[in-house]
Amino acid sequence: MKNTWPLWEVFIRSKSGLSHKHVGSLHAADAEMALENARDLYTRRNEGISIWVVESKHITASDPDDSDPLFDPAKDKIYRHPTFYNVPDEVTHM
Amino acid sequence: MNNLNFETIFQSKIDEETKIEPKDWMPEAYRKTLIRQISQHAHSEIVGMLPEGNWITRAPSLRRKLILLAKVQDEAGHGLYLYSAAETLGADRDDLVQQLLTGKAKYSSIFNYPTLNWADIGAIGWLVDGAAIMNQVMLTRTSYGPYARAMVRICKEESFHQRQGYEIMIAMAKGSPEQKAMAQDSLNRWWWPSLMMFGPNDSDSTHSDQALKWKIKRKSNDELRQQFVDVTVPQAEYLGLTVPDPDLRWNEERGHYDFGEINWDEFWSVVKGNGPCNRQRLQARVKAYEDGAWVRDAATAYAEKKEQRKLAPEATAKAA
């Protein structure tokens, strides 16, 4: 019989104050089992204090072939960075 | 853009050490090579649980038993990290498992050797995991992102595996004369198969050139094997054990150990399925898969039942 358990992506928060970070994937029959399996698979050595699981099919990813038109518009707007501006040496706390 | 351009861009990314990620364009042969290599690696981790599982119930103390259980659980985890990396390339988990169970896919030949006594658990951690680490540390820099990331996790855990093995070897080599003899016997049996883990000599290796160009591999079989011999011989000396190779000697000029010729007939014979435990290993995997079928079915049925219950109140509300 074909294994019909869906694929889940796993995100772990390693400690308070940090974001959840993608660590890998696993198969599970439902969300509860995905959480339990993620606990056993990805946190055997205190790697986390919180787990998110999401079925892989619910993730929409950008196409790497479109990355130029997607991200190009940000490239020439250097005035969005603080280093673009000259602050006189006499001026402090800025 | 035609394929030639894609391929040029792909190779230049590899040359400048940019990782390839799942949705990036890649040559079909790169994808195929990776699926084959990553799944074989995953199968090796899974089959690798068997020789060690053999000794869990007979570990000499509770401490050793807990450690061995944790190690075997890690091997299962490593298999799963790797299957998950292979799936990012479009491989289907069930197909991969079926390839293992039908004998179509290979796994590391080292696991077709038997674990005859407790010293073998020490020798496996020290030598087999030690050899695996040489290969896996290199693979943390492999060009395919998900494979490299899986390797980083694996390497962190393997270090525990090797140290616990060496600790067993120290206990036995510094123990009673009988224990020391067991440790020596174990080294005698595992040394050569461990050197074989690195694969054929570079001159006879079919996949090596392309794998190096694509930076799937970063070092050749012979380079890794030499590196393993160089670090392991002093470790054997510390134990007061003798490496079973009359040709082994330090070569001042090369700055490396010279070592004897591997028995390649034995290597190929085990690869082709005629090692001491090939059939037993595969039977054990097939049995585990078949015996676990009802568990998988029950979990699926339970998940469906829970889903129905969640939907049921909603359906009732709509009807009203």
Q: Rounded to the nearest 10 degrees, how much is the dihedral formed by the CA atoms of A81, A82, A88, A94? A: 170
Q: Is A61 on the interface with B (CB under 8 A)?
A: yes
Render pLDDT for B85-119 as a digit per residue (tens, 0 to 9). 999 999 999 999 999 999 999 999 999 999 999 99
Residue A73: inside a domain: yes
Render pLDDT for B22-81 as a digit per residue (tens, 0 to 9). 999 999 999 999 999 999 999 999 999 999 999 999 999 999 999 999 999 999 999 999
Enumerate the residues of chain B whose CB falls inside 8 A of the CB of residue A61. Answer: 23
Would the CB atoms of B306 and A30 count as touching at under 8 Å?
A: yes
Residue A34: inside a domain: yes
Q: For the residues of B152-179, what is the DSSP string, one character each?
A: HHHHHHHHHHHHHHHHHHHHHHTS-HHH
Find the residue in B nearest to A32 (Cα): B303
| ipTM passes above 0.85 | yes
Enumerate the residues of chain B whose CB falls inside 8 A of the CB of residue A3. Answer: 93-94, 97, 296
Residue A86: inside a domain: no
Lowest mean pLDDT among B9-18, B64-73, B172-181, B202-211: B202-211
Find which of B74, B94, B289, B311 to mutate to test the A interface (most A CBs within 10 Å of its CB). Answer: B94
Q: Please, which residues have CB within 8 angstroms of residue B222's CB and are 6 or more apart in sequence? A: B198, B201, B202
The amino acid present at B104, given as its one-letter code, is: K
Find which of B20, B89, B93, B147 to mutate to test the A interface (most A CBs within 10 Å of its CB). Answer: B93
Give the number of beta-carbon pairs within 8 Å between A and B.
53
The distance between the two most distant Cα atoms of chain B, rounded to a whole number of Å, is 89
Would the CB atoms of A29 and B302 count as touching at under 8 Å?
A: yes
pLDDT of residue B317: 59
Enumerate the residues of chain A whose CB falls inside 8 A of the CB of residue B154. Answer: none
pLDDT of residue B218: 93
Residue A94: inside a domain: no
Would the CB atoms of A3 and B21 count as touching at under 8 Å?
A: no
pLDDT tops 80 at residue B318: no
Q: Which residues pair with A25 in a beta bridge?
A: A9
Instruction: Give A64 to chain B, closest Cα distance, Å.
Output: 6
Q: Identify the band that residue B3 occupies on the pLDDT scale cut at 50, 70 and 90.
A: confident
Would the CB atoms of B293 and A63 count as touching at under 8 Å?
A: no
Nearest to A3 among B88, B94, B146 (CB): B94
Contacts 24+ apart (CB under 8 A), B154-159: B154/B78, B154/B81, B154/B82, B156/A45, B157/A45, B157/B74, B157/B77, B157/B78, B158/B129, B158/B132, B158/B133, B159/B133
pLDDT of residue B302: 94
Residue A91: inside a domain: no
Q: How far, in Å, CA of A57 to CA of A78, rounded? A: 36
Instruction: Give B299 to chain A, closest Cα distance, Å.
Output: 6
Residue A15: inside a domain: yes
Residue A92: inside a domain: no
| Residue B192 dihedral angles phi and psi, to the nearest 5° | -70, -45
Q: Identify the band that residue A3 occupies on the pLDDT scale cut at 50, 70 and 90.
A: low
What CATH code is carried by the domain that includes residue A47? 3.10.20.520
Residue A87: inside a domain: no
pLDDT tops 80 at residue B207: no
> Is B178 or B3 the better-scoring residue by pLDDT?
B178
Enumerate the residues of chain B whose CB falls inside 8 A of the CB of residue A24. Answer: 81, 84-85, 146, 149-150
Structural domain span for residue A13:
7-80
With both helix axes pointing from N to C terminus, report the angle between B221-239 and B129-139 in degrees, rounded to the nearest 10. 140
Q: With H, G, I as helix, E, B as strand and everything else as coil, classify residue B234.
A: helix
Enumerate the residues of chain A whose CB falls inside 8 A of the CB of residue B88. Answer: 25
Find the residue in A nearest to B147 (Cα): A24
Render pLDDT for B163-172 as a digit per residue (tens, 0 to 9). 999 999 999 9
Q: How many domains does chain A have?
A: 1
Would the CB atoms of A26 and B80 count as touching at under 8 Å?
A: yes
Please give the share of chain B, as a percent, with pLDDT higher than 90: 92
Render pLDDT for B262-293 as a digit per residue (tens, 0 to 9). 999 999 999 999 999 999 999 999 999 999 99
Q: How far, in Å, CA of B194 to CA of B175, rounded? A: 24
